[in-house]
Amino acid sequence: MTMLDERPATARSNSQSRRAMIDSQLRVSGVNAPDVLAAMNAVAREDFVPAAMKANAYLDRAIALDDGGAIPAPLVHGRVLVEAAVQAGEKVLVISASGYLAALVKELGAEVTLVKPADALDKKKSGPFSLILIDGAAEQLPAFVAASLAADGRVVTGTVTRGITRLAAGRKSADGVALLNLAEIGMPVITEFAAPKQWSF
């Protein structure tokens, strides 16, 4: 059996690799929104991975980054964008180690602020935002997420519980942000958003 996704990217053009990603990873997994597919076809994923991994940029797996963190598999970004339903002109905060998700959101016409997870806890944000996207799995949402959202603002993120990562979404209310887990999906865990350790005896 031929595994198309494991052929070196140098054997095909980058545009062909993006098309293969769309056809063999996204469409077959239910990511069919035309605007999302167009954005993922337009943005060069290879520009957001380490130089040594450019030939593997379109494989269906996460890729570790040189300065820590990881870029999730393409399917994760496709699922996040479908759930987010990004609207042109809206203000979006993207928390991402790679910047690829932010580039996709910008391609969809939104006004994007990008913050790395390591900087997210202490960097001033230019909110309020109508949408916050967290590019990976968070064990606990930091308090600034709810504080940075506009009334009825949306959050799409990953969650992690006992090692299981899931796609989740929620909206801001008077009580904060309540997330609903939508589906299990493998994605990198954001260590900066770990829950405080509990003492046990």
pLDDT exceeds cutoff 50 at 114: yes
Band (pLDDT 50/70/90 cuts) for residue 124 is: low
Rounded to two decimals, what is the model's pTM? 0.89
Band (pLDDT 50/70/90 cuts) for residue 199 is: low
pLDDT of amino acid 123: 66
- Taking CA atoms, 154 is separated from 87, 128, 163, in Å, by 12, 11, 25
Band (pLDDT 50/70/90 cuts) for residue 7 is: very low
Largest Cα separation within the chain, whole Å, is: 58
* Average pLDDT value for the chain: 90
Nearest-angstrom CA–CA distance, 43 and 27: 17
Set out the domains of the chain in order of their start, with CATH numbers.
Answer: 12-193 (3.40.50.150)
pLDDT exceeds cutoff 50 at 2: no
Residues 51-78: tens digit of each pLDDT: 999 989 999 999 999 988 999 999 999 9
